[in-house]
Amino acid sequence: MAAASDPLVVPAQQARNRRSGAASYLADGRAVVWNVPADDHAVDAEIATQPVPPALARRTGISDPALFWPAWTRAEVVAKLTGEPMLVLLKRTGLPVGVPEGIEVTTIERDGLVISLGSMTKQPTVGVVMLHMGDRPVELTHALETLKAQEGVDLDVVLVGNGWQPTGLPDWVRTVHLPENVGIPEGRNVGAAEATGELIYFYDDDASLPTPDVLARLAAVILAEPDIAVAQPRGEDPGGKPAPRRWVPRFDVSDGGAAGEATWFWEAVFMIRRSAFEQVGGWPGQFFFAHEGIDLAWRLVDAGWRIIYAPDIVVNHPATDAARHAVYYRTNARNRVWVARRNLPWPLVPIYLGNWTAITVLRVHDKESLKVWFRGFGEGVRTPAGERRPMSWKTVARLTRAGRPPVV
């Protein structure tokens, strides 16, 4: 590990008087200090022989101090460097915690202490893909301002003018001009092909990032384990409106929804591993608008990837009604049929579509909107849905165990 100095064991008061460096404080009045920049280094220490608290022993399944404290201090260092709360990290991975790409951790014993030292070895590379139609200049300016303020990541920002000629943008934003509006999923495919980075962040032009560590923390979630494809943050309306249910990848949306593995995600603001995105073929470009997220999510799960919902990471987005779009009811129904035809084993297709037809009839009370919906449904039946890659029955079982069988 590249370090500017060795850690020192000193009285806690001496450590508090220091103005720089990383430090870890012990219950016996000592502290471990490390004379390195604290923004990309972390230290954690514990007394090697102290008993493991019973609650932690039960939670982690490790009661031997010789095994527990090295694993615990390493986890603390990872939590400090990634910004993920320790309890959330433990709930997601348990002990021992895997060390994410871009972080190096060394554990030593000194003066009766177990000491873990962590360093950021490189910053994650993130390609940011935005679409804009020239209709929200104020919101776009704010979105870019908060994007520029992000720390701990190397960004390549690409804005796709979807039926709009990009103009008046900062010089650090690269642009692509599409003469016609090709829809959200295909526009994002164009942006993803242009942007560089091991990770891709899809970012709505009316969203914003309330803290400078949002993208670094999302990247840390994905890079923590090699089979994680997606990290979705929690959406909050900046004006305090309640978040729509569709923003939370849970049936139980109370308190923002539980953290952990999910089977779908909100498409507006999320990060994805590029290799996973490319492996499953990217977005279904022909969808234009609606249900492209569930199509991508099912293909990711079927390929063995995992989706993580991280509600402790917050992104701002105005709470709006998806039905405000003129094409909503048509593409909602058409794409629902296409999703089924593209991804489900044939025996599940009529069950899935029958359930969603019943749900729609119960939810939508406007007769004209229902007429449009059923015309869209017929269009989905008659027109080509694109390549059919039905998920395996093993994936059906996995989705069912996770709480959302692919019939709703």
Residue 193 maps to a domain: yes
| Chosen domain end from 73, 92, 120 | 120
Predicted local confidence at residue 17, as pLDDT: 86
Predicted local confidence at residue 1, as pLDDT: 42
Residue 237 maps to a domain: yes
Most confident of 6-10, 65-69, 88-92: 65-69
Predicted local confidence at residue 82, as pLDDT: 87
> How many Å apart are CA 44 and CA 31, to the nearest integer?
9
Instruction: Looking at the structure, tell me whether residues 149 and 297 fall in a common domain.
Output: yes
CATH number at residue 306: 3.90.550.10
Instruction: Looking at the structure, tell me whether residues 228 and 146 fall in a common domain.
Output: yes
Predicted local confidence at residue 186, as pLDDT: 98
Q: Is the pLDDT of residue 93 over 90?
A: no
Instruction: Looking at the structure, tell me whether residues 160 and 230 fall in a common domain.
Output: yes
> How many Å apart are CA 160 and CA 175, to the nearest integer?
6
pLDDT bin (cut points 50, 70, 90) of residue 177 is: very high
Most confident of 86-90, 394-398, 401-405: 394-398
> How many Å apart are CA 40 and CA 121, to the nearest integer?
9
Per residue in 185-218, pLDDT (tens digit) is: 999 999 999 999 999 999 999 999 999 999 999 9
Predicted local confidence at residue 5, as pLDDT: 67
Instruction: Looking at the structure, tell me whether residues 256 and 273 fall in a common domain.
Output: yes
DSSP string, 61-76: S---HHHHHHHHHHHH
| Contact call for residues 214 and 317 (beta carbons, < 8 A) | no
Predicted local confidence at residue 79, as pLDDT: 92
pLDDT bin (cut points 50, 70, 90) of residue 332 is: very high
Residue 141 maps to a domain: yes
Instruction: Looking at the structure, tell me whether residues 155 and 13 fall in a common domain.
Output: no
Per residue in 25-84, pLDDT (tens digit) is: 999 999 999 988 777 899 999 999 999 999 999 999 999 999 999 999 999 999 999 888
- Helix ranges restricted to H, 17-64: 54-60
- Helix ranges restricted to H, 280-403: 292-302, 328-343, 349-363, 367-382, 393-401
Residue 1 maps to a domain: no
Predicted local confidence at residue 330, as pLDDT: 96
| Chosen domain end from 320, 338, 367 | 320
Q: Which of 357, 359, 362, 396 is nearest to 380 (CA)?
A: 357
Per residue in 309-330, pLDDT (tens digit) is: 999 999 999 998 877 766 899 9
Instruction: Looking at the structure, tell me whether residues 28 and 79 fall in a common domain.
Output: yes
Residue 26 maps to a domain: yes
Domain count of the chain? 3
Instruction: Looking at the structure, tell me whether residues 196 and 278 fall in a common domain.
Output: yes
Predicted local confidence at residue 213, as pLDDT: 95
Residues near 377 by beta carbon (within 8 Å), at least 6 away in sequence: 333, 334, 336, 337, 353, 357
My answer on whether omega of the bond before 96 falls inside 30° of 0, hence cis, is: yes
Instruction: Looking at the structure, tell me whether residues 359 and 391 fall in a common domain.
Output: yes
Query: Domain range for residue 355?
Result: 324-401
Q: Is the pLDDT of residue 20 over 80?
A: no
Instruction: Looking at the structure, tell me whether residues 136 and 180 fall in a common domain.
Output: yes
Per residue in 282-293, pLDDT (tens digit) is: 999 999 999 999
Quickly count: other Cβ atoms within 10 Å of residue 173's Cβ. 18
For residue 112, give both structure tokens: 């009766």
Q: What is the mean pLDDT of the chain?
A: 94
Q: What is the mean pLDDT of residues 92-103?
A: 88
Percent of the chain with pLDDT over 90: 85
Instruction: Looking at the structure, tell me whether residues 95 and 143 fall in a common domain.
Output: no
Instruction: Looking at the structure, tell me whether residues 300 and 338 fall in a common domain.
Output: no
Which phi and psi angles does 54 have, rounded to 5°?
Answer: -55, -40
As a whole number of Å, the CA-based R_g of the chain is 24
> How many Å apart are CA 61 and CA 66, to the nearest integer?
13
Q: What is the mean pLDDT of residues 125-134?
A: 98
Per residue in 250-290, pLDDT (tens digit) is: 999 999 999 999 999 999 999 999 999 999 999 999 999 99
Residue 406 maps to a domain: no
| Chosen domain end from 104, 120, 136 | 120
Instruction: Looking at the structure, tell me whether residues 142 and 116 fall in a common domain.
Output: no
| Contact call for residues 90 and 96 (beta carbons, < 8 A) | no
Residue 407 maps to a domain: no
Q: Which of 219, 260, 214 is nearest to 235 (CA)?
A: 214
SS3 87: helix
By DSSP bridging, strand 199-203 and strand 125-132 are: parallel
Residue 3 maps to a domain: no
Decide which of 93 and 407 is more confident.
407
